[in-house]
Structures are given as structure tokens and as C-alpha cells.
Structure 1
Amino acid sequence: MWLVVPLYNEATVIGDVVRHARATFPNVVCVDDGSRDASAAEALAAGAHLVQHPVNLGQGAALQTGFEFALADPRMEYVVTFDADGQHQIDDVLVMLDQLRRNDLDLVIGSRFLDERTQPSRLKKLVLRLAVAYTNATTHTRLTDAHNGLRVLSRPVVERVDITQNRMAHASELVAQFGEMRLDGRPLRYEEAPVHILYTDYSMSKGQSLWNSVNILVELMLR
């Protein structure tokens, strides 16, 4: 299994994120998306594999590069998409991986709305709910949290993913592809899992603000 971590200007925290993840999952690849700080060096020092984009392309592009890196490992069975800012929890990954194997699934998507551990602001929750409603109405999926970056994907799913939306809209593009995807002629078997998104002052400053949620909604409408 590989953890794929898109990385952009996270030198402050990425070392701790990688070290903590590798204590449970040794195979971590960070895709440095044109960082202007010491993110790449910190990730390497913490033991991650590193792929670098010479310029900033966006999180969608970083994920696609990470998927291609993981697919080069013939032993890879699963990929986890995992954020670099410390908001995702390794304990949640363990639960999601067990859920995927136990229930013979192709995909497990994290949801911050299936329990009470995550506490976004009311306005942020409203915007995210609107994004979920739009995504469910325009794709062949039914989710409670369409823009959660914590996912466990089986190899056949990773092989078929083709992200072309580099910025925030890539999450909706992924959901749309999951809804259309067929494995041996059947729809994907997927479930959601409750996850704890840890909002800190740092993660809020790095893209978890209400304004960022509004940007997601705007990109959805323009996609």
C-alpha cells in the first residue's frame, strides 16, 4: 500500500506528518508541487519517496502523479490519498482499510459528517453540504462528503482514474469518475467511513477556510 501525499509549501509540518504515517505505513510518496520552501527536503529527511513538479500545477495534478508513481510498484494493492497539513488521522486509515477488505469493496471515502468528531463552522458546513447536493445530483453517486481528501482506493480503481482538473474541482471530477467507472462490467463497490478532520489554525491558513469552500462550490458550477 502507498500513501500519496500532495505537497505544497508545508515545510513546517510535513516532516512530522510523514514520520507519523511511516510508523504504520512505510510506503509514503510526497509529490512536491513546486514548493518554494523546504518541503521537499523535510519530506525526504522524514523517509518519504519524493516526486517533484518543477512548477505548481495544483492538487489534482499532484494526485495523478502520485497515482502513477504508486502504479509502478507491481506489489501495490491499495492507495491512500492523504493530506500534508496534518488534518488526516492514521487511525482512520486503518479503519477504512479494514472496511474495504472486510466488505470486499473497491473504494472507501472518508466523511466528516458521519459522526461528531469534526466541527466545521456552520457556514463551512452549509457550503460543503451544497457541494455534496450538487455532486450527488450530477454524478452516479450518493455521498455525504464529496470533498473529503481521505480515500482508500484499490489498484483497479487507481488504474482507471484520470484526473484532468488540477485545482479544487479535481475532487468532484474524481467522484464523477467513480460513479461512471465499471470493473468487470459492474459498478464500483464503495462505502463511506466516518473520519476526524483535525482543523487547526495552521490547516485553516493552508486552505481549509470558508473562502476555500466557496471556491470549491464556484469551481463545481463552472466545471
Structure 2
Amino acid sequence: MGIDTPYPDVWIIIPAFNESQVIGGVIADLRQVFDHVVCVDDGSRDDTADVALRAGAHVVPHPVNLGQGAAIQTGVEYARRQPGASVFVTFDADGQHRVKDVVAMIDRLSNGDVDIVVGTRFAETTVSHTPPLKRLILRTAAALSPSSHRLGLTDAHNGLRVFNRCVADNLNLTMNGMSHASEFIKIIVENNWRVAEEPVEILYTDYSMSKGQPLLNGVNIIFDGFLRGRMRR
């Protein structure tokens, strides 16, 4: 299934639910640089799985929709079983992320002084195109989360992450929905993993915005990050 790429040890993990309109292009762009892409079809009712397979991805199906957190966990478990896998990337299915940002984050990870690199759309050096309300919600969620504050993170709910084998082997997301992002940050703190942020640009297309979270979900993100930071396992 392989193509000759400079990143044979990198596995891209894409959770996808009803993304047949764009998933083929997303995977095709990634496959120009990365050999290994695994798409977790999270109970889609369209032909997401078929499109992803034709585009060259490994496809792992969920019979029913379990949520993004569960799909990421499934993808990581699949990828870490593959020979030679040592770098892992979570990448959204809706076309918001850029391949060039993944490359920059892998380069940052390769310095060896961090275990995980998290993308941020709110770095001072980044021109943010984030809609104002979404920006307010995400910045507020980061500010109210004790774990994010402790790590100095500005964009804890960014879906673009690059991490090493240690993180992959010990990652155990139990929150299935969007609250997995807060849980991910909490797990970083609990394991004392070294973390850094890398400026990234988010591509807000008409398609990705149409699939965006409603305001109520955004408010839930804020309170989820606030409360979960104070919970103990």
C-alpha cells in the first residue's frame, strides 16, 4: 500500500463521520507526503469508508457512531500496532488542517525535548481567521481549564496533534465526544509528558463551518474543561 515518502514512521489518524464530500481530497493531500493514513469511519451513513479506501487510507470501521474521542482512540490503537510506527498525528477530516503544519510539528517533535506538539491558532505570530464567537469560546475554555493553564496552552481544543510512541502507548481516552480534548490535556498532565505548541492555520471553509459546533456545544466545552480539570480519576 506504500508510496515512497520521507516519513515512513509517521501515522496520520483521521476520525471521520459522514465526510464523503471531502475525505478523499484530505487523504490525497496527506498521501503526497505521508505513506500511512488511517481513517476511522465512525459509523458514517454515507460512503466515507469507500472514498477513504479509494484514496489510499487504511480504514477502520465503527459499526455505530461513538464520537470523536472514541474514533481517535481506535485509530491510535490501530496505528501503534503497525511495525515501525513511532510518530502519530491526529488530523481532522473536514479539510481545516494543512499538511505543511503537520510537517512543521513533526520537525518540532524531532528535537527530542517534547513528547507531544499541539497546534495553536492563537499564537502571536499567527494570523487567525477564527470566527469571533468561536475564538472567544476556545480562548475561554483554555483560560478556565486548570490543566491547560498549567501547561501554558492557548488552544487545547485544536484537533491537530503530533506525538511520540510513549504518548501513543499510554493514551487511553475514555470520553467519546468532544470532551475528549479536555481529557487529552488532563492525561498529558497526569503523565508528565513534555508538551509544546506550534502555530498552525485553520482553513475555515464553507463546508467545515457548516459542520461546526452549535453555540450550546461551545458552552459545554467551556464548562467541561473547567470541571474536568478539577476531577480526579
TM-score, normalised via structure 2 length: 0.88
Deviation at 1:207, TM superposition (A): 2.2
The alignment status of 1:121 with 2:122, answered yes or no, reads: no
Q: Which residue pairs with 1:50 in the alignment?
A: 59
The alignment status of 1:151 with 2:161, answered yes or no, reads: yes
The alignment status of 1:131 with 2:141, answered yes or no, reads: yes
Structure 2: runs of 5+ lacking an equivalent: 1-9, 229-233
Deviation at 1:200, TM superposition (A): 1.1
Flag the 1:25–1:18 CA change in 2: closer, same or farther, 3 A.
same
Partner secondary structure for residue 145 of structure 2: helix
Structure 1: runs of 5+ lacking an equivalent: 182-186
The alignment status of 1:41 with 2:46, answered yes or no, reads: no
Are the equivalent residues in 1 in contact too, given 2:66–2:176 (CA < 8 A)? yes
Paired residue for 2:90, among 67, 81, 95?
81
**RMSD, aligned α-carbons:** 1.7
TM-score, normalised via structure 1 length: 0.92
Q: Which residue pairs with 2:203 in the alignment?
A: 198
- What pairs up with 1:86-125 in 2 under 5 angstroms? 86-114=95-123, 115-125=125-135
The alignment status of 1:165 with 2:163, answered yes or no, reads: no
Are the equivalent residues in 2 in contact too, given 1:140–1:180 (CA < 8 A)? no
Q: Which residue pairs with 2:184 in the alignment?
A: 174
The alignment status of 1:5 with 2:14, answered yes or no, reads: yes
- Please give the per-residue CA displacement for 1:183-218, whole angstroms capped at 9, x wherever unaligned: xxxx32221000001111110111255554233224
Letter in 2 for 1:2: W
Are the equivalent residues in 1 in contact too, given 2:143–2:149 (CA < 8 A)? no
Partner secondary structure for residue 151 of structure 2: coil
Q: Tell me, in whole angstroms, the C-alpha distance in 2 between the residues paired with 1:126 and 1:197.
A: 16
Percent pairwise identity:
52
Are the equivalent residues in 2 in contact too, given 1:139–1:176 (CA < 8 A)? no
- Please give the per-residue CA displacement for 1:50-74, whole angstroms capped at 9, x wherever unaligned: 0000000000000000010011113
